[in-house]
Amino acid sequence: MSAISITSESTEMYLKSIAELEMLATPPVAISHLAQRLGVSSPSVLEMVKRLAAQNLVTHTPYKGVSLTDSGRRRAMAVLRRHRLWERFLVDTLQLPWESVHDYACQLEHATAPAVTDALAAFLDNPTTCPHGNPIPDAAGAVPPNRTIPLLELAVGQSARLENIIYEEAILLEYLARRGFLPGVQLTLEDIAPYQGPLMVRVSGFDHPAALGREIAARIFVVPTE
């Protein structure tokens, strides 16, 4: 039991990505989705998934997809915890730009010993969310239940508070930051263009509403107000 289990950076990124994709759609996660998220080919993913399955980190159902095992989920949550703690540190302590820290944290998350993670969490006073609003798993890997809905599901005319932005990528974050879409802001869905058109969303304090594609609106989570 409890083999030495060296977790490579690659392994950690696979597990983290599977965890993120599992939260979005109903598992199992399709090989092709994983491939797209990780930026590698499907055959590469399949091969890696077989390696992960051999280590009991995921379950692979041929032609269906992958799911994390308990052990795999624990590892994934540990990576997510380190990632989001580092993001907090980079924004709050080092004052690096909100839209850049995701990429920096994606490197640090694989190079952080447990003692460092613990000390960092203590130094930051055990924060519960990352700068993009996403929950930081606790030391046991648990996250509070999610009470948010995608901006995409808001009714026209409805107002809401922006909670979190998922699928953090520098380009998306920079785009959103420039338009005021930051966790905590108040916004109103003013209109939705037909035929899968964009959503017109006004951020409180901005003169004009922003036009957000559905792809983006599905990545922004909100809590409706009143």
Partner DNA sequence: AATCATAATTAGGATACCCTAATTTAAGGA
Partner DNA sequence: TCCTTAAATTAGGGTATCCTAATTATGATT
Q: Where do contacts with DNA occur on this chain (CB under 7 A)? A: 8, 10-11, 30-32, 35, 38-44, 46-48, 51, 60, 62-65
Nearest Cα to Cα of residue 19 among 103, 152, 143, 102: 143
Q: Which residue, 40 or 211, has its beta carbon nearer to DNA?
A: 40
Write out the DSSP string of 170-211: HHHHHHHHHTT--TT-EEEEEEE-TTT--EEEEETT-SSPEE
Q: Which residue, 13 or 189, has its beta carbon nearer to Mn ion?
A: 13
CB of 16 to Mn ion, least distance (A): 7
Tell me which long-range contacts 189-195 makes (C-beta under 8 A, separation of at least 24): 189/151, 189/154, 189/155, 189/156, 189/157, 189/158, 189/159, 189/160, 190/156, 190/157, 191/156, 192/156
Q: How many other β-carbons are positioned within 10 Å of the β-carbon of residue 34?
A: 22
Q: Which residue, 111 or 156, has its beta carbon nearer to a second copy?
A: 111
Q: Which residue, 120 or 216, has its beta carbon nearer to a second copy?
A: 120
Q: Which residue, 87 or 163, has its beta carbon nearer to Mn ion?
A: 87
203 binds, among a second copy, DNA, Mn ion, none (CB under 5 to 8 A by kind): none
Q: Which of residues 94-123 bind a second copy (CB under 8 A)?
A: 94-96, 100, 103-104, 107-108, 110-113, 115-116, 119-120, 122-123
CB of 82 to DNA, least distance (A): 18
Residue 144: DSSP 8-state: P
Q: Which residues bind Mn ion (CB under 5 A)?
A: 87, 106, 130, 132, 168
Q: Which residues bind a second copy (CB under 8 A)?
A: 90, 93-96, 100, 103-104, 107-108, 110-113, 115-116, 119-120, 122-123
